[in-house]
Amino acid sequence: MLQKSYHTKTSDLISQFVQERTESGFSAMELLAFLSERGESVNKTTVYRNLDKLVESGRLIKRKSAVSDGFVYQTAEKDGQCYGHIHFQCEKCGAMIHLSDRLTADYLKSVSENFGFKVDFSLSSLNGLCEKCRTFE
């Protein structure tokens, strides 16, 4: 039996939050703060449960944060190709950039062939400072 999907004010706000962050990663705590600022009293368990559902549906990608012990969530590409390339994560602002260009793809293919690796793109990212954060150094 299919589980019904309920639209609540909280789920609508979570959708809004995710849509506003297509160019950056975010943490569960950032989402919790966003909900709190809008008058929604939601516990952490509810936030994590909603995030897990979005990951399971393929709408979000969950990966280890480069800046904390937690996880960062990122909007997956609409065409479902997000799992076929690596990402860059800014260590300062959390921006997540899709590295799906031909040069990066060719490099990863070369590394895989030369060393016999099979890269798990869902766990792989390059970390550093994005262009915006580098200008403020």
* CB atoms inside a 10 Å sphere around CB 78: 10
Q: Assess contact for 70 and 25: CB atoms under 8 A.
A: no
What does 46-110 look like in DSSP terms, one character per residue? HHHHHHHHHHHTTSEEEEE-SSSSSEEEEEPPTTSGGGGSEEEEETTT-BEEEE-SHHHHHHHHH
Report whether 82 belongs to an annotated binding site.
no
Degrees, nearest 5: CA angle 31-88-109: 135
Binding-site residue set: 90, 93, 130, 133
Binding-site residue set for Zn(2+): 90, 93, 130, 133
